[in-house]
Amino acid sequence: MNSQLYINEIQPLFDDVQRARIFKDQKTMTDVIPLFPVSEINKKYEAEKQGEGFDLRSFVLSNFDFIGEKAVKKEDILPIEEHIEKLWDELTHTAFENEGTLLKLPKSYIVPGGRFNEFFYWDSYFVMLGLQVSGRVEMMKNIVENCSYLIHEFGFVPNASRTHFLSRSQPPYFSLMLDLLVESTNDEKIYSKYHSTLEKEYLFWMDGEEGLENDSATKRVIKTREGDILNRYYDSENTPRPESYLIDIEDQNNISGKEFFRNIRSACESGWDFSSRWFEDGATIQTIETLNLAEVDLNCLLWHLEKTLVKSSELMGMNDKAEYYTQRAEKRKQCIDLYFWDENTGIYRDYHIKKHKKTSSEHIATLYPLFLGLANEKQAKAVSETIAEKFLYQGGLVTTTKETGQQWDLPNAWAPYQWLGFLGMKNYGYTQLADTIKNNWSINVERVYNNTGKLMEKYNALDTKTIAGGGEYPNQDGFGWTNGVYLKLKRN
């Protein structure tokens, strides 16, 4: 049976399974494939569950198929780059039909690895960095095609290619993916080919902007007291995440806020699930307030999308559109300086839309204006000093300066930000710092690989003798973006 499954179609059964902790990982039940029509399974469940000797686990196993995680094949430890070349093939998946919660995609794609056996949006950009080094241009084209298909099908690229992610996206990297593809093919026409895709994604992020009053927000758009437009991460659902169902329900205990689940989900749209960055008290998830923040990374990425739309419009001779997007990009650049740059501490911060001031969290998204060339020389110098002083450790760049047990906090170093740090410093001539960032993290990756034969999702930057932890699930082996960034850094 190849049919699409939405979790709410099996909600009573799903709720019972997750609360009973039948599976170690709450994601297991979200990835199931029904063996019979869902209406039949529901009817059978209602009829049987009250019966004597009913076994919930047996019921689930006899009515659903489980794909689960594919273990990476272990051989004698190969040289790391050879291992990554083999991994590209192992991490290649296809989904030409909707199956269970998995969305169909027109082309094959690379999954992150471990428990993550679907296509992820922002991961795929960092995967593409490595595919470029490996000369796998066809797979780079596949990723772009899959994103384009999703944008035309749903209006945006979902967080990942499953039905329960259709309420949110992830950091909008599609325009940056096009840059990589143009770089790899020398074909500028790629921008015009995907012009309508770029526009459609832009409309998704700007939806609700028309008629928005000052000092208010709707969906992903904020209008400040001063009448400026900024963007925020957002999720259209306010329910527990199916993939972390029980965790969310337990975290919500003793919370008075009506939108706890939406705040949780909106943080997931950023990719940073979770971090002290989102917490009002800087420590506990119960104080999460993602919806109150305009984020520096998102606004920088949308500036890049606007600039790419200028390029695609010009290539197609659409001068009015080019002018429109030029004005939008220029205005956003001014807003990035005005709302996110903190002169006093030499860092870019998020902006709190209710308190009308910058947040106190120091985090690595301060790199985005340098990565994309938005910072001036003075700002870049200040950020480079802050990075060297507060974020750089012997195992790479950490994401925040706080240790909370959340995986996007100290002491973890994640692949994307090593690349952003390296390139951001290079862009402004801080070559020595760029090389230190590259070497500290790459040596850490090599050490863990030589000890374990694994490439991990994240690394411990402080204690390079241990494997990174924190978060809602164990550190995963695979791992798409680590492979991509490692290869790219080694070539630079």
Q: Which active-site residues does the annotation give?
A: 273, 457
The closest alpha carbon to 63, from 43, 46, 41, belongs to 41
For 231, residues 6+ apart whose C-beta sits below 8 A from its C-beta are: 205, 206, 220, 221, 222, 294, 295, 298, 299, 302
Cβ pair 484, 457 in contact under 8 A? no
Residue 76: Cβ within 10 Å count: 5
